[in-house]
Amino acid sequence: MFLDQIKKGNRAFVAYLPAVMLIILSYFIGQFILSIVLGGVAMLNGGELTEDVLKSMDFSRMGISNNVGFLIIMSSFLVPFFGLFFAKIFHRRPMLTFVTAREKLDFKRIGFAILIWGIILGGSTLADYFMDPDNYEITFEAKSFIWLFLIALIFFPFQVSFEEIFFRGYLYQLLGNIFKYPVIAWILTSVLFGLMHSANPEVYEYGFWKMMPGYVLLGAFLGLITILDDGLEMAIGIHFINNFFLAVGVNYTGSALKTDSAFQVLTIDPTSQWYGILISGSIFMVVAWLFYRFNGFKKLIQPVRISKTTLTEDSF
């Protein structure tokens, strides 16, 4: 079981506390560098960097192209990503134990998740297009699109891996260590995952209570697949293709990813995305179960069993 990885290395609270604090600090350092770079670039290009511009991430008002702005934002995730590797030193165990219960990273599972979730996304988008074609606008420009494709392909793995390893690796194992039951850690990390995105431009555009359930549901789905499959591989694959499809394929007004995608959706109903995640997530779960035969939902309520010896040596 993935949560059993906490039995390895140093699981004491005095190890988790500085590790998590270091990761959070590295994230805010990345965000600080992001604001400094955006401010400098905006100043050089005669743009503005007001609170309204920052909330909406309107790169045109900053005087820069969407690709340049997207590159700067994605680059900021390099800092917290590498912060994960420094943080794991406190635990004296391999980074792999925060990613999977398997002996090595299963790239086939990542590829499987990318393929299946990509088909689900493509199919649902195509169906929506046929139902309301006037809501889609072609915005494809070859030169800009090529650069966008390369930036997304190179930097999304860092952004996605950071979020997955931190929330469904570090925090999930920390909370599992405290509460012992996977279901509690699963619920809490799903809510925290949602709250992390509360400063996104789409929350500013559409409202907190319309967008937040979607984030929490997505976090819950990714957390559930992690628990059932004993690793982050599928969650990483789903998260990657989800962001990649949004940034490169079909974007929408107010999105956190301000990109020159191939298509733009003119209007969206945030509440409809809740049902979309539930339906798409259910389809993926069925297909994944047919291929990998998960052990069942009992993993959610199976407590972590830690021996008295382990408790004595690594107690909180």
Taking every pair of Cα atoms in the chain, the longest distance, rounded to a whole number of angstroms, is 65
45-63 average pLDDT score: 75
> Among the ranges 12-16, 96-100, 175-179, 197-201, which has the highest mean pLDDT value?
96-100
User: What's the mean pLDDT when you consider all of the chain?
Assistant: 88
> pLDDT band for position 267 (50/70/90)?
confident
- Which token pair is 162? 């950071």
Q: Is residue 57's pLDDT more than 70?
A: yes
Residue 10 near residue 87 (C-beta atoms within 8 A): no
Residue of higher predicted confidence among 61 and 113: 113
pLDDT at 306: 61
Q: pLDDT category, 156, cuts 50, 70, 90? A: very high
Predicted TM-score (pTM) above 0.95: no
Quick: pLDDT tens for 106-151.
999 999 999 999 999 999 999 999 999 999 999 999 999 999 999 9
Parse the chain into domains and list their residue ranges.
2-314
Rg (C-alpha) for the chain, rounded Å, is: 20
Two tokens at 54? 């920052």
DSSP letter for 313, please. Answer: H
Helix/strand/coil for 264: strand
pLDDT surpassing 70 at residue 90: yes
CB 29 within 8 A of CB 79: yes
Angle (CA) 29-153-236 rounded to 5° is 75
* Long-range pairs of 36-43 with CB within 8 A, sequence gap ≥ 24: 37/72, 38/62, 38/69, 38/72, 41/68, 41/72
Whether the pLDDT of residue 313 is over 80: the answer is no
